[in-house]
Amino acid sequence: GAVVSQHPSRVICKSGTSVKIECRSLDFQATTMFWYRQFPKQSLMLMATSNEGSKATYEQGVEKDKFLINHASLTLSTLTVTSAHPEDSSFYICSARSPLGGYTFGSGTRLTVV
């Protein structure tokens, strides 16, 4: 139980285009989801907290107009990287608070902007 599905697992896009990443809780409802970014050989950094039915809370230094988060239902949160540039290339991973306690993570999305 408490599975989070994240898609796509890999995406390559051209500079200037937008990319949407989906995070779904499959067998539970997630009122809160979290989005992290991980650069190669570095740690995971919390980008934003996504709350169902309300605006996301962004961490300091994260551009909310660039990383659009939508959490329109209790099972789906999306992260859209708008006007992507090569420096946005990274591993993005979502998580949700698990009804079993703790956090459940998606499998991550490796974004490459060329």
Residues making contact with other proteins (CB under 8 A): 32, 34, 36, 38, 42-46, 49, 91, 93, 95, 97, 101-105, 107-108, 110
Q: Which residue type sits at 66? A: K
Question: Peptide bond preceding 99: is omega within 30 degrees of 0, i.e. cis?
Answer: no
Cβ proximity to other proteins, 10 vs 16, nearer residue: 10
Rounded least distance, CB 99 to other proteins, Å: 12
Contact 52, 31 (CB under 8 A): yes
Burial-class residue 54 by CB neighbours within 10 Å (0-12, 13-18, 19+): exposed
Residue closer to other proteins, measured from CB, 39 or 83: 39
Q: How far is the CB of 53 from other proteins (least distance, A)?
A: 15
